[in-house]
Amino acid sequence: MDVTTDAAAPWLVVGLGNPGPEYAGNRHNVGFMVADLLAERISGRFKRAGKAQAQVVEGRIGPPGPANRRVVLAKPTSFMNLSGGPVNALREFYKVPVARVVAVHDELDIEYGTLRLKLGGGDNGHNGLKSMTKAFGPGYHRVRFGIGRPPGRMPVADYVLRDFSSAERKELDYFVDRAADAVECLVLDGLERAQGTYNS
């Protein structure tokens, strides 16, 4: 899992979500929101990635010079529960070690807006992670964006496929911005520094 094994390899940062405008504001699509902001920061526009079921932006993050890092930002265009195939196709095409893959995703068991970064582990019932782990193993990084548990007896599937509430949307831009900062810190400074700064 040593991310220094291939200094030339890019990082593959994957925002998880469902394709299509009807899903764009859903809690389940917060990974797409973070990926979109990261693309904006590097002045990139998502484009279709050859034969892979994904859209990608290639670029560099960090200051000019040797300290910056090559990144491929990706949004699978398959549905969430089929994310693993497209992500693995990109990983193989760009020759990205598993430990340089970063999944940005919603997390039910963390309160809204809270971030947790980690390397490896289980999928906690998240279908996007489940698919990725099945495709190439669990040894990738995760940036977990808390969305909290559904209220009352609302089914989880209904909750994650609903848009953020009006109260949540007041802070959503701030939290998405912070998650993008966390991804950049992870790629540039490593997991330990990013955890120390952004795990709350």
Catalytic residues: 28
Distance CA 32, CA 117 (A): 17
Single-letter amino acid code for the residue at 183:
V
Distance CA 27, CA 52 (A): 25
CA dihedral over 121, 124, 125, 129, signed as positive or negative: negative
**Beta-bridge mates of residue 106:** 145
The answer to whether the CB of 50 falls within 8 A of the CB of 114 is no
Task: Provide the CB-side half-sphere exposure for 67 (13 A, CA).
Answer: 8
Residue with the two structure tokens 């220094």: 4
Distance CA 135, CA 66 (A): 32
The answer to whether the CB of 92 falls within 8 A of the CB of 5 is no
- Residue 102: its H or E element: strand 101-107
DSSP-derived pairing of the beta strands 11-15 and 54-61? unpaired
Distance CA 24, CA 18 (A): 8
